[in-house]
A and B are shown apart, each in its own frame.
Chain A
Amino acid sequence: MVWGPIEGEEGAFVLISILRRSALAVGLFIFAGAGFPGVAVAADSVDHSRFKVLRKPFKSGQEVTRACIGCHSDEVEQVMKTKHWTWEAMNPHFDQKLGKKTVVNNFCIGIASNQPYCTSCHIGFGWKDNSFDFTAQENVDCLVCHDTTGTYRKPPGLAGHPVYEEMEFPPGSGTILRPVDLNKVAQNVGKTSRYSCIACHSYGGGGDGVKHGDLDSSLQVPDADTDVHMDALGLDFACAKCHAATGHDVPGSRYAPTVTRRGAPPQSGVPEKRNPAICESCHGSRPHSVDTVAKIKPLPGFTTVAMAAMVNNHADKLACQTCHIPAMARGGVPTKMSWDWSVAGRMGPDGKPIEEFDAKGHKIYDSKKGAFVLGENVVPAYFWFNGEVKYTLLGDKVTKGSGYTPINQFGGSPTDGKSRIWPVKRYRGVQPYDPVNQTLIVPHTYGTDPDAYSVSFNWEKAAAAGMASAGAPFSGKVDFIRTEMLWPLNHMVAPRANTLTCNDCHNPRNGSLSEGRMKNVPGLKKGPLFKSGR
């Protein structure tokens, strides 16, 4: 028997297989279980605490990464090709470079000049300005995704570094952050989890649940009502169950959404290039069986077979999410529905910045950011969507008018044969723009330097600094423009009993769609009569 380093699940399986064949297996397993509880589950994740290279004190994240690279050089190269590292993506339908490095939104607006704060969610160390070295492997942060201790975090303002020395955060708050135990975290790396993904993806836009509407901290330990797939006492799906990565490239980006898939679901074990992070990957394109439909009250005159066919036919025009995500922000965490930057800068009686909160303690005003409107259990807006999304980028001409300037626009129509009606978070903002150049502005919103809006409360200075960092022209004038951004909903899938029913969309008296959720969706025809309702 050769005892060497065991790397990856395959190695662990080999070890267990050998042990099982040995007459010593019984005794050794009892022994191992008593002394090392983790060994019994070695097949799930390699016990990194056994590796000498990780049994030493680390002073920085880069030191840990150098240790990781010793065994995982291929993996680091894979990571550096992904959007998680580059923050760049090409629009598959339009000639647009997207990604967090490039796009403008109506939350925190853009990363130019604000990198030390935004990049607390970058899978790297040290992206504090435009000089960041994207070619340095040691800058890759393995721990932020693979920590299993729940102790690794990267506060805003540290350019993607964790806390190395005790510090007060936020400054002046009296709250002391203790340094992360890099040695412990490195020895306890494992598969990604809801915790590791949510740490960033639920906190976009500056706080818990702010951005997406269907992603917030309630998904760490959700019940079935919040998400039937991630239900901690049920299926308990990790994010990676659907967002199954290949070579560290995680599928399911909203920069390249998959709206529909025809045909049979993929066969288990058969590799394919299609996006697996869609409902049809498991449920197929005609997911409602006679058995499942038999559990709901049939419409008058419908057999269960006819009911199943009728509901499946809806799937041709409705995304699964439309019926199965009846509302967003259902886990007890509100999502931001609008953000008005134009009213930022209002001070308290003492001339100092203020914060205001609603009756539930949620912040609704901040002198440094403006005013917010929050929502829980919000009914989505509905759009025909064919998967094409066109963005308004920095430099694109925008016109101030009575309506909302789109930050992104969904393609789709009732007649193109490839669109489906999709539930969407319709999020609105009022944000700075350049009235002379007629472009959106990326301001230097946050920082400790005198140009940051959070310090100067001067939009012209903040805009000049931000646009200079972005390499974009700025006239020196700042005005505000109303904008709208669309966020397709995919998570917080409700249990069957809580899905939409016929009457949520069809008027029970005449089948009309004019009074239900779809009343503003164009191109819908009068539906059948549902005298008894459902």
Chain B
Amino acid sequence: MTLRKPLLVGLAICLLGAPLLARAYEGDWKRGHVYYRMVCTECHKGQPCGVIAPNSLTRAEWTAYLQADKHAKGKDSLKTYLGKPFRASIAGTNKAAAKFADVPDEELYADLKAFVMRSAKDGDAPTGCR
């Protein structure tokens, strides 16, 4: 009983204050790097298009690519390859997909975006295929 009042106060602060102070998830570029390297690059190694280095595109080009959401020249959606169903489908053979199986789609998208923005040709730390 003695805990009831403070608990209610805490919850009230939470409900009233959180929307005011909450900020958008900014993206974890390190996790994005792991996904890019271990999922995107691993798959691209066996594709005709080959591996795409983050620093082969500028930030503007990456932004346009992400906004277009077209993978394989428009054959499918890029977000498909970041989604939980795709990760679940390859989790048996891809350790990164298994490790990030439960990461929300929008977080993983933000992670990947943060990584390619940082690692683009004109980014803060241009990064090759590694």
Contacts and interface: CB of A to CB of B under 8 A. Distances in A.
Task: Place the interface of chain B in its size category.
Answer: 20 to 34
A26 B21 contact: no
A233 B129 CA distance: 18
Given A150-B29, A150-B30, A35 B9 contact: no
Interface in B1-25: 2-3, 6-7, 9-14, 17-18, 21-23, 25
Given A28-B13, A150-B30, A233-B96, A217 B130 contact: yes
A332 interface: yes
Given A221-B130, A232-B38, A24 B10 contact: yes
B130 A333 contact: yes
A208 B122 CA distance: 19
A153 interface: yes
B125 A150 contact: yes
B130 A27 contact: no
A208 B53 CA distance: 15
Interface string B111-130: 00000001001101101111
A151 interface: yes
Given A23-B3, A233-B96, A218 B130 contact: yes
A22 B125 CA distance: 43
Nearest to A148: B30
A332 B34 CA distance: 16
Given A31-B17, A221-B33, A232-B38, A332 B130 contact: yes
B95 interface: yes
Contact of B21 (A35, A149, A150, A223): A35
Interface string A152-185: 1100000000000000000000011010100000
Question: Residue among B23, B30, B122 with the most chain A CB within 10 A?
Answer: B30
A34 B14 contact: yes
Contacts of A216: 130
A331 interface: yes
A232 B25 CA distance: 23
A467 B112 CA distance: 49
A193 B125 CA distance: 15
B41 to A, nearest CB: 10
B14 A27 contact: yes
B29 to A, nearest CB: 6
Question: Residue among A34, A331, A332 with the most chain B CB within 10 A?
Answer: A34
A151 B125 CA distance: 6
B99 interface: yes
Contacts of B37: 221, 232
Nearest to A24: B10
Given A223-B38, A232-B38, A233-B38, A34 B22 contact: yes
A276 B96 CA distance: 30
A28 B33 contact: no
A153 B21 CA distance: 32
B13 A23 contact: no
Interface in A1-51: 22-28, 30-31, 34-37
A220 interface: yes
A27 B22 CA distance: 15
18 contacts: A23-B7, A30-B11, A31-B10, A34-B18, A149-B29, A150-B29, A150-B124, A152-B124, A153-B125, A175-B121, A217-B130, A220-B33, A232-B34, A232-B37, A233-B34, A233-B96, A233-B99, A331-B130
Given A24-B9, A150-B30, A218-B130, 12 more contacts: A24-B10, A27-B7, A34-B14, A34-B18, A150-B118, A150-B124, A150-B125, A151-B118, A178-B122, A217-B128, A220-B130, A234-B95
Closest 9 CB pairs of A and B: A27-B10, A35-B21, A151-B124, A23-B6, A34-B18, A31-B14, A24-B10, A233-B95, A221-B37
